[in-house]
A and B are shown apart, each in its own frame.
Chain A
Amino acid sequence: MARITELDVNGSREKIDVDAERTLLSVLRDDLDLTGAKYGCGEARCGACVVLMDGRPVPACVTSAGSAAGAKITTVEGLEQDGQLHPLQEAFLEVGAMQCGYCTPGMIMAGVALLRDNPDPDEAEIVRTLEGNLCRCGAYPRIVAAVRRAAGMLRGGGAA
Chain B
Amino acid sequence: MNEETVEGLSLEPERYELHAEEEQHWEAARREFFGSVRGGIVVVLALDQVPATRASGAGRRGGPGVSLPQEIGVWLHIGEDGRVTGYTGKVEVGQGVRTSLTQAIADELPVPLASVRLVMGDTDLSPFDGGTSGSRTSPVVAPQLRKAAAAAREILLDLAARRAKAERASLFLEDGKVVQRGTGREFPLAELAAGQRLLKAVGDDVPTKPATAWQFADAPVPRVNGRAIVTGGHRYTSDVRRPGMLHGKVLRAPSANARRESLDTGAAGAMPGVALVVEDDFIGAAAPDELTAARAVEAIRVEWEAAGGQPSSREIFDYFKANAGEVPGSRGPTSHTAGSAAEGLSAASRVFEGTYTAAYIAHAPLEPRAAVAEWSGENGDGTLTVWTGTQRPFGVRGELAQAFGVSEDRVRVIVPDTGSGYGGKHTGEAAIEAARLAKGAGKPVKLVWTREEEFTWAYFRPAGVIDVRSGVDADGALTAWEFHNYNAGASGMRTLYDIPNQHVEFHPSRSPLRQGSYRALAATANHFARETHMDEVARAVGMDPLAFRKKHLGDARLRAVLDAAAERFGWGEALRRSPGHGFGIAGGHEKGSYVATCVEAAVDPAGGAVRIVRAVTAFECGAIINPDNLRNQVEGAVIMGIGGALFEGIAFQDGKILNARFSRYRVPRFSDVPVLETVLLDRKDLPSVGAGETPIVAIAPAVGNAVFDAIGVRLRSLPLAPNGAEPEPA
Contacts and interface: CB of A to CB of B under 8 A. Distances in A.
Interface in B266-309: 289-292
B444 to A, nearest CB: 13
A158 interface: no
Interface in A47-62: 48
Contact of A46 (B417, B628, B662, B670): B662
B223 interface: yes
A104 B289 contact: no
A138 B640 contact: yes
A73 interface: no
A99 B94 contact: yes
A28 to B, nearest CB: 10
A130 B662 contact: no
Interface in B614-672: 628-629, 632-633, 635-640, 661-663, 667-671
B661 A99 contact: no
Interface in A66-108: 75-77, 79-80, 85, 89, 92-94, 96, 98-105, 108
A5 interface: no
Nearest to B225: A101
Nearest to B639: A138
Contacts of B676: 141
Nearest to B726: A45
B119 interface: no
Nearest to A89: B230
B289 A36 contact: no
A96 B234 CA distance: 16
Contacts of B639: 138, 140
A contact residues, range = 35 or more
Nearest to B633: A99
Contact of A134 (B95, B222, B227, B662): B662
Contacts of A76: 230-232
B632 A99 contact: yes
Q: Chain B contact residues: over half helix, strand or loop, or mixed?
A: loop
A141 B671 CA distance: 10
Given A29-B239, A96-B632, A138-B639, A105 B232 contact: yes
Given A76-B231, A93-B226, A98-B223, A131 B671 contact: yes
B364 interface: yes
Interface string B224-262: 001101111111101101000001000000000000000
A33 to B, nearest CB: 6
Contact of A138 (B93, B668, B729): B668
Interface in B405-425: 417-420, 422
Given A33-B241, A89-B231, A136 B289 contact: no
A35 B241 CA distance: 10
A14 interface: no
A80 B231 contact: yes
B222 A93 contact: yes
Interface in B428-466: 448, 450-451
Contacts of B367: 38, 40, 100, 102
Contacts of A38: 236, 238, 366-367, 419
Given A39-B238, A43-B729, A130-B670, A96 B231 contact: no
A42 interface: yes
A41 interface: yes
B229 A46 contact: no
B366 A100 contact: yes
B96 interface: yes
A151 interface: no
B661 A43 contact: yes
Interface string B345-382: 00000000000000000001111100000000000000
A100 B662 contact: no
Contact of A96 (B223, B236, B241): B223
Given A36-B232, A43-B661, A101-B229, A48 B366 contact: yes
Interface string B485-525: 00000000000000000000000000000000000000000
B220 interface: yes
Given A41-B451, A76-B232, A26 B289 contact: yes
A114 to B, nearest CB: 12
Nearest to B452: A42
B291 A22 contact: yes
B289 A18 contact: yes
Contacts of B220: 96
B673 interface: yes
Given A39-B238, A43-B451, A104 B667 contact: no
A41 B638 contact: no
Interface of A: 18-19, 21-23, 26, 29-31, 33-46, 48, 75-77, 79-80, 85, 89, 92-94, 96, 98-105, 108, 126-128, 130-131, 133-144
Given A99-B633, A104-B230, 7 more contacts: A30-B247, A31-B289, A34-B232, A42-B450, A45-B729, A100-B366, A101-B94
24 contacts: A26-B291, A30-B247, A30-B290, A33-B241, A38-B236, A38-B367, A40-B367, A40-B451, A43-B451, A43-B662, A46-B366, A89-B231, A96-B220, A96-B222, A100-B418, A100-B420, A101-B419, A102-B94, A105-B229, A127-B670, A131-B670, A134-B366, A139-B632, A139-B636
